[in-house]
Amino acid sequence: MSDLPDALSVLYHDDVLVAVDKPSGLLVHRSWIAREATEFALQRVRDQIGQRVYPVHRLDRPTSGILLFAKDPDTARLMTEQFAERQVLKIYHAVVRGYLTDGVLDYPLKEELDKIADKLADQNKEAQSAVTEYRCIQQIELPFTVSKKHATSRYSLMELTPKTGRKHQLRRHMSHLRHPIIGDSNHGDGRHNRFFREHFGLQRLMLAATTLAFEHPYTKKTVRIELPIPNELLKPFAE
């Protein structure tokens, strides 16, 4: 039995576009990487609005938040071009280990390749430019020993704005800063991930896409879609 909601919350809907709030754990579409998955955001949205939709960007399976679809191939092409040309504002919120302040990280990333899906890709491709702005929203120190080096544990609620769109960019950039996102099984800290599961009952990646702003492909007006920070990300700071 799935823990995912039966219906996705529609955040924006017009004649050519529809945006939904994708829950953590839901794939955008079918993938070789997760063959066991039987539910996908693309099919959910199609069934909810009664017509075919086309993804114009991606969110990782464990990331929640704003996911935009087009209703026809031409609109999908126009929106995909906006994303590719970095004309879309994307803002995320995340909980990271430790105290992190404000800054900008300009750190190129080698493309992460999947052994099966990307077996024909260039394995020696040079690292690509990757830039992330980050701003601290709130910090907390909890009276729990998670790492043997420290009697207490510190966490920061961050606002993250990627200026490029590399695969797993935010997760990898935060890890590079030694402030990994909580719940990240690939780039994170297993001890802190376990603490969040056991103490807070939080088993998800603590990363959410909370703002998406772009130029409408036909009206040319700015569309800004926003979500509040999920309660799951705020829960540790209410201690």
- The model's pLDDT over 16-57, given as tens digits with 9 standing for 90+, comes to 999 999 999 999 975 545 455 557 899 999 999 999 999 999
Residue-averaged pLDDT of the chain: 91
- The model's pLDDT over 113-167, given as tens digits with 9 standing for 90+, comes to 555 544 455 556 789 999 999 999 999 999 999 988 889 999 999 999 999 999 9
Which amino acid, one-letter code, is at 14?
D
pTM passes above 0.85 = yes
* Mean pLDDT, residues 176-202: 96
Choose between 1 and 177: higher pLDDT: 177
**CA 155, CA 236: separation in Å to the nearest integer?**
9
The bridge status of strand 89-97 relative to strand 153-162 is antiparallel
Under the banding of pLDDT at 50, 70 and 90, the label for residue 15 is very high
For residue 224, the model assigns a pLDDT of 98
CA 45, 211, 187, 164: dihedral to nearest 10 degrees?
100
**CA 41, CA 125: separation in Å to the nearest integer?**
31
Q: Is the CB of residue 225 less than 8 Å from the CB of residue 211?
A: yes
* Mean pLDDT, residues 48-75: 96
For residue 1, the model assigns a pLDDT of 37
Q: Which of 20, 17, 14, 131 is nearest to 79 (CA)?
A: 17
Read off the tokens for 15: 């004649």
* Mean pLDDT, residues 59-70: 96
Measure the N-to-C terminal CA separation of the chain; round to a whole number of Å: 31
**CA 165, CA 96: separation in Å to the nearest integer?**
20
Q: Is the CB of residue 55 less than 8 Å from the CB of residue 29?
A: yes
Q: Which residues are catalytic?
A: 60
- The model's pLDDT over 199-217, given as tens digits with 9 standing for 90+, comes to 999 999 999 999 999 999 9
**CA 90, CA 172: separation in Å to the nearest integer?**
17
